[in-house]
Structure 1
Amino acid sequence: MNVDGLINRLEITVFRHRAFVLTIFALLSALLVFQASQIKLDAAFTKNIPLNHEYMQTYLKHQENFGGANSVLISVCHQEGDIFNKEFFTALKGVHDQLFFIPGVNRTQVKSLFSPSTRFVEVVEDGFAGGPVVPADFVADDKGLATVKANIEKAGIVGRIVSDDYSCAMVKAILMERNPNTGEKLDSIALANILENDIRKPYEKGNITVHIIGFTKMVGDVADGAKGVVTFFAVAIAITSIMVFLFSRSVLLTLLPIACSLVAVVWQMGLLSSLGFGLDPMSILVPFLVFAIGVSHGVQMINAIGKHVEQGFTTKEAAQFSFRSLIIPGGAALLSDTVGFITLLSIDIGIIRELAITASLGVAVIIFTNLLLLPVLISFLKLDKSARSQSKEANTPLWQLMASVSNRVVASVILVFTAILFVAGFHYSKQLKIGELHAGAPALHESSRYNQDTFLITNRYAISVDYMSVIVETTANACTDAQVLKTMDAFQWQMENVAGVQSAVSLPSVMKIINAGYYEGNLKWRIISPNQYALAQALSNVPSSTGLLNNECSVMPVILFLEDHKAETIDRVIVKAKQAISELNNDDLTFNLASGPIGVMAATNEAVAEAQLPMMLYVYGAVILLCFISFRSVRATIAVVVPLYVVSTLAQWLMTVLDIGLTVSTLPVIALGVGIGVDYGIYILSTMSIKLREGMSAHQAYLAALHERGSAVLLTGFTLAIGVSTWFFSDLKFQVDMGVLLTFMFLVNMLAAVTVLPALACFLWRDKK
C-alpha cells in the first residue's frame, strides 16, 4: 500500500469511528493526568555535569577524600565592627551545629572556627605548640575572645575561614551524593529550603547577616525563580488565545486548538512521570514550548478547515480534507522537531539529555493531539463560512506584495542581501565563546540575593569560590619523597604565574612554611628539604583532615584559586595546566585534571564544545532526510534548509553581540530553534510543490501558498515570538537568554520562510513554457 492509500485508510477509519477515537483519547488523558500529578522537580548535581568526561572521572574517584564540587559556603557576618563579640560567636556556633546535623552533609568535611581540625601552630622555645583555634572550654568573654583572636592570627586562616577585615567567618561543608537517612539521591531543592529556613532565617537577626552560596543553594534559588514559569504560561495562553480568536473569529475555533495543545502538555508530563523522569529548572520551560508548537499546528488545521468551509464543504468534510492534506506536511514538520530534539541525546550531560527526552516526547504527542484529535473535535461543529470569506479578500493586497519576492529581480536582491548577512554572521559566529561570560551564578541575575552573597564572599575573603583541584597520584608514602614534592611545587609555581590564578595551595607549599618555622621563620629555610626526616617532621603538622593529602600519602591535590569563572579564564588556565602536566608527568607521579567547581565547569565547557558540531550535523541531517522523504525533491529540501541554516548562523552572531556564551542552557536553543523553525518552510512548500507540479510558475505557486497558508504562518510566527518574549521579565538569567534567542529564531525563521524560501524557489524551479 502506498502512502496515499495508507492516509486514505487512516482517514476513513478515524472519521467513521469518531466516538471511539474520542473515548480512547479521554481514557488516555485521564490516565496521564494522574501520572502527571505525580511528577516531581529533580535537580541532582550529577545531572549538570558530563560524568564520562576524564575530569569528572578524576572528580568522582577522589571526592570521598578531597570533597567534591557540590559544596556549601556560609559566611556569617557582623554588620557593626568585627566578629569578636558574644552575639557573633553564638550565631556562628549555631550555624555550624545546624549545618553539621543536616542529612546529606558530609560531617567530616564541615569546616569552621568551631571545627576541631581548625588548628593553629606556633613556634615556641621547645619547638612547636598548637591546638584548636576555639578551645574546648571557650567562653565568649573578653579573655576568651582575645585568645581566639590570637589563635586565628597564628593559624594563618585570615582570608580563608575569617574574612580579611574580621567582619565575617566562614562555615564550609561538602555534600554527599545521597541522603544517608533514605538512601535516595540528595534532593538539592529540599536541601536549599532547609538552608534557608533552618540556617538563614533563625540566625539572620540583629547585627548578624548570613550569606549562603554553593550549587545546592543556587539550584534552590533557580527553582524558586522557575515558579514564575507558571505565570508566563498563563500570559502566553492569554496572548495566544487573543491572537487565535482574531484569526478565526470564533470562540470554539479558539478554544479547541488551545485545549488540544494543553492536552499535549498533560500527555508529555504524564509520559515523563511514567518513564521515571522529573522536571529540572531548565526542562520546566519545555512544556511552554510544546504548548506553543501545538498551537502553531492547531492554527494550520483550523485555517485549512476554514478554507474548505468557505468552498462550501460541510464541517465534517472540511475536517477530513484538512486531515488528509496536513498529515504529511504537519507530520513531517513534527517528526523533524522530534528527531532534532532527540539529537541532543548526543551531549553527555544529564540535564540536556533529559531536556531532549522531555521536548521530543512533547512534540511527538502533538501529532496525535493537534493533527488527529483536533480535526475530529472540529468535525462535530457547524461553522459559518461568511466571516472567513471577508478575511480572504482583505488579505489579497498583502499577499500580492509578499509574492513579489518570488519575482526574479526582487529575489536576486533578497538572495544577495541574505548572502551578505550570512557571510557577516558566519565571520562573527566564529567569535562565539563557550562557557560563562559573567561573574556570579550565570543562571541568576546579578542583583539576585545569591549573586550578591557571592560578591560579598569574594570581596571579603582572600580566596576565590572559583577553585580547581589538580589531583596528583603517586606511590604510597610519597609525602616524604623530596623529588615528588619538588615536582608538585614546580607545577604550583608555574600555575601561580598564569593570568587569572589568584593563589594556590598544596602540601609542598604548606610543608615549606612549616620547615621554616623550625628555623625561627627564616625565609631561607622555606624549602623542600632533601632530608627525609626533616620532611617527616614537617608532615607531622599536616593531618589528612586538611584536605591536602589522603591517609596513605599517595594522592595530593594542588588547589588553584581563580579570579573568576569566565570562559576565557578557564580556557587559559586549563591550557597552561596541560602544558605543565605534559612537562612534569613522570613514572613517579601523575597530574590529573580536575576537581572542584572550576574542574566541573571546564569539563562542561569541553563537553559543550565537542557536542556543538555533531549536534548541528545531526539536527540538519534529520531535517534534510525528513524533508527529502516528504517532498521527494532535492530542490524542495534546499529551499527549506538554506534559510534555516542562515538563521542559525545569525543567531550565533547575535549571541556574540549580546555577550551570551554557549552553555548548557543556550546550546539546546539552537536545536530547538531549527526544529521549530522548519515548520514554516514545510507548510509553505507543501502547497507550493503541488502547484509547481501542476505547471504554475514559482510566483503563482507562492501566491497560492500565501492564500492558503500565509495567514496561519504569519500568525504562528508572531504568536510564538510574543509568547517567549515574555521570558525577558524572568527572574532567571538563563531563561532571559533563552527567551531572547528563541524570540529571534521564531521570528526570523518565519521571515526567512516567507522571503528567502520563495526567492530561492524562483531560481530552483524554472517557469514552464
Structure 2
Amino acid sequence: MSKVTHFFHSIELAVFRHPRTLLSAVLVATLFFAAQIPALKMYSDFADLLPQSHPYIQLHNEIKDSFGGANVIVVGIEAEEGTVFSNEALKLIHELTLAVDSLPGVNHDLVSSLTHRTVRKVWLTEMGNIVSEPYYEPLDPLLSDEQLASLKKEVVANPQVYGPLVSPDMKMALIKAQLNEGQLDYEDTFNQLQELRASYEGQGFQIYATGQPVLVGWAYHYKDQIYQILAFTALIMVSLLVWHFRSAYGVLVPLAGVLVSTIWGLGIISLFGYNLDPLGLVIPFLISARAMSHGIQIVERYYAELSERDVASEAARATFESLFRPGTLGVVSDAIGLLLIAVGSIPLNTKLAHYASLWAMCIIITVLISVPLLLSILPKPKRTQLHQSALRAVGGASASIVSSSPKAVIVALAIALCVGGVFSSHVMIGESEPGSPILYRDHDYNVSSKKVNDTFPGSEELYIVAETVDKEGMKRPEVLAALADLEKHMLLDPEVGGAKGLPDLVKMVNRLLHNNDPKWQQIPKDNLYVGGLLFAYMASSPIPGATLEFVDSEERVANLVFYYKDHQGETIRRAIHTAKQWIAENEGKVEGLSIRLAGGTIGVTAAMNEAAFETNKTVLPLVFLFIFLSVMVFYGSLHAGLLMFLAMLFATTLTYAYMGITEVGININTVPIIAVGVGVGIDYSIYMMDRIREQRLKMGSLTEAVRSALSTTGLAITFTAMTLIAGIVMWIFMSDLRFQADAALLLSVMVILNAIAALLLIPAWVLVFKPKFVDQVEVDEDGIIHQRG
C-alpha cells in the first residue's frame, strides 16, 4: 500500500493516545485566536480591486493625480421642468458643486461642473487678447432672460462642456469629482453625499449619484444587514441540525466544531493584518458552513458506528479512522481551490486566498480531529439510533436509479455535459449589463447610472495617454495631427459619445485668434505657433494650470479622453480593440511618439476584466490538476484521479452553462467563487468513492456496495449539501447587494451539481467500468484498505 495511506494511519494511532491533551491544546489555541478578533476591521480599499501588475493599472497609478482615475463621484442634477439654464438650477448646481468639492478625500484640482472655477468660457477681446472666466458667478445678481439665453449659447458652443457636463437636452448637469485613492473613509464620504442629496432634492429637481466610491458606499450602507443575515443563518443551521438529528450530540457537537473553526479563521485574518471586505463575505460564510458539514458527516457516522459497538470511544475511533483520510483529502481540495486564487494579480483575491486557505486547512484540526476526540471522551448518548430523516429517501432513490440502469445514467449525464458545453460558451468576460451587477437593477445606484448614461452621450471615460521623448514634444504639429487622427478613429465607434484632447484645445484657440472663423479650426504647422496658442490660453485664465487637464507641465505627456455610455464587457472589448487597431497601424510613424493604454473607468475596468479572465484561465486548470494529482496519489490509482476529474468537469461545465443562461459574467468577483465551488464540491465525490470502496470490502458484491454507500453516505451528502446551502441561502433572500445574492446562488448551484455528480455519476461509473482501486480491495493486519496484488 502507498506511503500516504500508512502516514494517515500513523496519525490515526497517535491522535487517540492523548485525547484530552490534544483537546486542551486546541482550547488554548482557540483562546489565543479569539483574543485577536477585536482588532479585525471591515472596509474596502479601491486599490485592492486593481491588478497592480497590469500595464493599464500601472498607467492609472501614474496619471491618477494629474489627469484623474476611476475613483470618481458623478452627481447629476435634473430639472423636472425647463432646463438647467435658470437661476434656481444654476444656484443649486453651484452649491452642490461646492458641497461635493468639500467631501472627504476629494482631489480639489480634479472637480468639474458647469459652475466650477476650472470650467471656463474663452473669447477674444477687441484688443486681440484671449480672456476667460467661469460660466457662472454666484455673486452676480439674478441673471436676466437675455443673459441666461447668452449663457446657453456659450455652453452649446463649447464641446468640452456641452455633452460632457451639460446634457444635449439641457435638462441635466453633471458634477464630477476625483477621490484620492488609498484607505478612504468611503462610508463617511457616502453618508455625507446622501445627506446632500436629501437636503437639496425636491423643489423641482432630481439628484442622482453614481461612480465607484458611491458603489462602495452602498456596500457599507448594508453592513448592519450582514449581522441580520448572520443571525438568520445561525438560526437556520441550528434548526436543520435539530430537525435532522433530534439529539443534543447531533446539534451541539457540530456547532462546537464550526464555532472553534470560525474563531480560528477570524483570528488568522486579524493576525495577517488583513481586512474583511463587505463584498467578499460569502466565502467566509461558506467555509464556516463547510466546517459544519464535516462535523455533520462525523456525527452521522458516529451514530452508525454506535449501532455496531457498545463503547462510545471505540465508535468515535472507528469514525475517525473511516472519515479522517477522505475528509482530509476533501479539506485539502477546498484549500487548494482557495489558495490558487492568489495566482491572479488582484490584491483583494490574493488576501482572500491567503487567509481563506489557512482557515480551510484549520478544519483538519478544529473539526476532523477535535470532533471525534470530543465524542471519544463524552458519555455514550442514551439514544443511539438516529431519527429516520426524510432525506434518506434521496439516497434510496439514487441507489435505485443507479443500480437498475447505470449506463443510462452515464449517457444522460454525458448529454447534460454536452448541452452545458454549448451554453457555457455564452459566458461573457466582464459585466453583461449597464450599471453595476453588485446591486439590483432597480437600485438607486443603477437607476442613477442609467439616467446619467441615457441622458449624456457618455459618462464612462477611457483615457489614452500619449508621450513624447523630449520636453515640449506635444507642441510638434505632426504629434498633434497624429493625436487628432487617433481621436477621429476612436469616434468611428457609435458608442463613443465624444472626446476631449489637446488637439481640440489647440484648434479652438486657433479659431478664436482668427475672429472665430471655422476654417482656422486646424492645427498650425509650426511648433512656436502651437506654443503661442497654449500660452495665450493659459494667460487667459487667472487659475494656474489651465492646460493641465490636457497636457503635463513639461508638455511631454498628453491625455485623450473618450466618453462611453457604459462599461459592459462588450463595450470595453470594442473600445480597447479600436485603440489597439490604430496603434498597430500607426506605430513608429511619428518619431518619438508612443501611445499607452488605458486609464479612466473604461481602462481600469478593462484591466480588471483581463486579469479576471487570465486568472480564471489559469486557476481552474490548476485546481483540476492539483485535485487530480492529490486523489491519484492518495488512492495510488490513475483511474481514481480521472474519475474525480470527470466529476469536476461535469459540475464546472454546467456551472458555466448556468452563468451563460443567467448572464453572470466572469469578473474579479465571480472567479474566486468558481474556484472555491470546485474545491468544496469535490468533497462529495471523494466521500462517495471512499465509502463505495469501504463497503465493497465488507459486502463483496459491488452492486450492494454501491447501494449501501448511497443509502448511508448519500444521506450525509444530501444533508451536508443542504447545510452548505443553508449557510449562504439567506444572502439570496435578504441581501440588498445583488452580487452577494448572485454569489450565494452560484455557489448553491455548484453544490447541487457536485452532489448530483457524487450521487449519480460516481456510483454509475463504478458499476459500469469497475475500476480496480474499488473492485479489487483487501484489508491488511493494520486495518488499512488497499488493492489486491
Paired residue for 2:550? 548
Q: CA deviation at 1:477?
A: 1.4
Comparing 106-115 with 538-547, which one deviates more in the overlay? 538-547
Residue 111 (str. 1) matches residue 112 (str. 2): yes
Determine the structure 1 residue equivalent to 2:680.
676
* Pairwise CA distance, 1:78: 4.3
Instruction: Name the Cα RMSD after superposition.
Output: 2.8
TM-score by length of 2: 0.90
Q: Do structure 1's residue 192 and structure 2's residue 187 form an aligned pair?
A: no
Taking the TM superposition and a 5 Å limit, the aligned residue runs for 1:33-72 are 33-72=34-73
What is the alpha-carbon distance in structure 2 between the residues aligned to residue 137 and residue 422 of structure 1? 67
Which is further off, 538-547 or 211-220?
538-547
CA distance in 1, matches of 2:70, 2:551: 17
- Larger deviation: 534-543 or 37-46? 534-543
Deviates more, 1:94-103 or 1:234-243: 94-103
The residue number in structure 1 matching 2:424 is 429
2:412 is equivalent to residue 411 of structure 1 = no
Of 463, 469, 488, which residue of structure 1 is paired with 2:463?
469
Moved more, 622-631 or 84-93: 84-93
Contact 1:484 1:588 in 2 (8 A): no
Residue 663 of structure 1 and its aligned partner are, at CA, apart by 1.0
Matches within 5 A, 1:369-408: 369-384=366-381, 388=385, 391=388, 399=395, 401-407=397-403
State the alpha-carbon separation in 1 of the partners of residues 505 and 86 from structure 2: 31
- Cα drift, residue 139 of structure 1: 2.7
**Match runs of 1:70-81 below 5 Å:** 70-81=71-82
Say if 1:436 and 1:442, in contact at 8 Å, map to a contact too: yes
Deviation of the 1:108 alpha carbon? 1.4
Question: Residues 412 and 517 from structure 1, CA distance in 2 versus in 1: closer, same or farther, beyond 3 angstroms?
Answer: same
What corresponds to 1:503 in structure 2? 498
Give matches, 1:245-264, under 5 Å: 245-264=242-261
For residues 370 and 201 of structure 1, the distance between their equivalents in structure 2, rounded to whole angstroms, comes to 50
CA 1:188–1:396 in structure 2 vs 1: closer, same or farther (change >3 Å)? closer
Cα distance change of structure 1 residues 660 and 140 upon mapping to structure 2, 3 Å threshold = farther
User: Structure 1: where are the runs of 5+ without partners?
Assistant: 179-184
Q: Which residue of 2 aligns with 1:609?
A: 613
SS at match of 2:66: helix
Query: Partner residue of 2:289?
Result: 292
- String of CA shifts for 1:345-395, please: whole Å, max 9, x gaps: 111111222222242122112112211222233334444475626639x98
Cα gap change, 1:305 to 1:693, in 2 (>3 Å): closer
The range that moved more, 699-708 or 719-728, is: 719-728
Label 1:9 to 1:401 Cα distance change in 2 as closer, same or farther (>3 A). same
Residue 581 (structure 2) aligns with: 579
Q: Tell me the distance in 2 between the aligned counterparts of 1:271 and 1:712.
A: 30
1:724 aligns with 2:733: no
**C-alpha contact 2:462 2:602 (8 A) present in aligned 1:** yes
Q: 3-state DSSP class of the match of 1:160? A: coil
Deviation digits for residues 441-470 of structure 1, max 9, x if unmatched? 2211111111122222223334x2211011
Measured after TM superposition, the shift of residue 652 of structure 1 is: 0.6
Give, in angstroms, the shift of residue 549 of structure 1. Answer: 0.9
**Distance in structure 1 (CA, Å) of the matches to 2:395 and 2:722:** 17
Q: Which moved more, 1:469-478 or 1:100-109?
A: 100-109
2:749 equivalent in structure 1: 744
Q: Which residue number in structure 1 is paired with residue 541 of structure 2?
A: none
Tell me the TM-score normalised to structure 1 length: 0.92
Asked if the contact 1:511/1:539 (under 8 Å) is kept, the reply is yes
State the match for 2:32 in structure 1. 31
Cα 1:389–1:39, aligned 2, differ >3 Å: closer, same or farther?
A: closer
Supply the distance in 2 between the matched residues of 1:135 and 1:468 (Cα, whole angstroms): 28
Deviation (angstroms), 1:207? 4.1
The question of whether the paired residues in 1 share the 8 Å contact of 2:130 and 2:536 is answered with: no
Match of 1:163 among 140, 164, 167: 167
CA distance in 1: counterparts of 2:223 and 2:521, whole angstroms: 52
What is the CA-CA distance between 1:480 and the residue it aligns to? 2.5
Identify the range of structure 1 (464-473 vs 515-524) with the bigger mean alpha-carbon deviation: 515-524
CA distance in 2, matches of 1:162, 1:560: 16
Q: Counterparts of 2:748 and 2:241 in 1: how far apart (Å)?
A: 19
- Alpha carbons of 1:19 and 1:201: their partners in 2 closer, same or farther (altered >3 Å)? farther
The match for 2:782 is none
Moved more, 24-33 or 162-171: 162-171
What is the CA distance between 1:675 and its match in structure 2?
A: 0.6
Aligned counterpart, 1:562: 564
Separation (CA, whole Å) in 1 of partners of 2:402 and 2:205 = 70
Rounded to whole Å, the distance in 2 between the matches of 1:446 and 1:391 is: 44
- Give the drift of 1:122: 2.4
* Structure 2 counterpart of 1:273: 270
Letter in 2 for 1:749: N
Distance in 2 separating the partners of 1:67 and 1:401: 61
Matched AA of 1:217: V
- Given that 2:344 and 2:350 are in contact with CA atoms closer than 8 Å, whether structure 1 keeps it comes out as yes
Looking at structure 1, the residues matched to 569 and 9 of structure 2 have their Cα atoms a distance apart, in angstroms, of 55
**Distance change >3 Å, CA 162–CA 389, structure 1 → 2:** closer
How far apart are the structure 2 equivalents of 1:415 and 1:484? 64
Other-structure match for 2:345: 348
Give the C-alpha shift of residue 273 in structure 1. 0.8
Once residues 726 and 24 of structure 2 are traced to their aligned partners in structure 1, the CA distance between those partners, rounded to angstroms, is: 35
Q: Match for 1:516 among 511, 516, 522? A: 511
Alignment of 1:686-701 (within 5 A): 686-692=690-696, 696-701=700-705
In 2, distance between residues paired with 1:218 and 1:140?
A: 38
Match of 1:628 in 2: 632
**Residue 623 (structure 1) shift:** 0.8
1:98 and 2:99 matched: yes
For 1:50, the aligned partner's letter is: P
Please list the CA deviations of residues 666-717 of structure 1 after superposition, one character each: whole Å capped at 9, or x if unmatched.
1122211111111101111112223445683431221232344222111112
- Residues 466 and 561 in structure 1, CA contact (< 8 A), matched pair in contact too: yes
CA–CA separation in structure 2 for the residues paired with 1:101 and 1:142: 26
The partner residue of 1:661 within 657, 661, 665 is 665
Work out whether residues 422 and 650 of structure 1, in 8 Å CA contact, stay in contact via their aligned partners in 2: yes
State the partner residue of 2:785. none
Residue in structure 1 matched with residue 488 of structure 2 by the alignment:
493
Report SS of the residue matched to 2:178.
strand
- Residue 128 and residue 170 in structure 1: after superposition, are their counterparts in 2 closer, same or farther (change >3 A)? farther
Deviation digits for residues 447-501 of structure 1, max 9, x if unmatched? Answer: 1111122222223334x22110110001321232111111111111111002422
Q: Distance in 1 between matches of 2:728 and 2:580?
A: 42
Change in Cα spacing, 1:541 to 1:747, as seen in structure 2 (3 Å) is farther
- Counterpart CA distance in 1 for 2:285 and 2:393 is 35
Superposed, 1:222-241 pairs within 5 Å as 222-225=219-222, 227-241=224-238
Task: Summarize the Cα distance change of 1:242–1:389 in structure 2 as closer, same or farther, 3 Å threshold.
Answer: closer
2: CA distance, partners of 1:530 / 1:282: 54
In 1, Cα distance between equivalents of 2:551 and 2:629: 55
Contact kept? 2:283, 2:673, Cα under 8 Å: no
Give the aligned residue type for 2:619. Answer: M
Shift of the 592–3 alpha-carbon distance from structure 1 to 2, 3 Å rule, reads: closer
Q: How many residues align structurally?
A: 759
User: Which residue does 1:713 correspond to in 2?
Assistant: 717
CA distance in 2: counterparts of 1:727 and 1:619, whole angstroms: 26
Q: Does 629-638 or 121-130 show the bigger shift?
A: 121-130
Distance 1:499 1:168, change over 3 A: closer
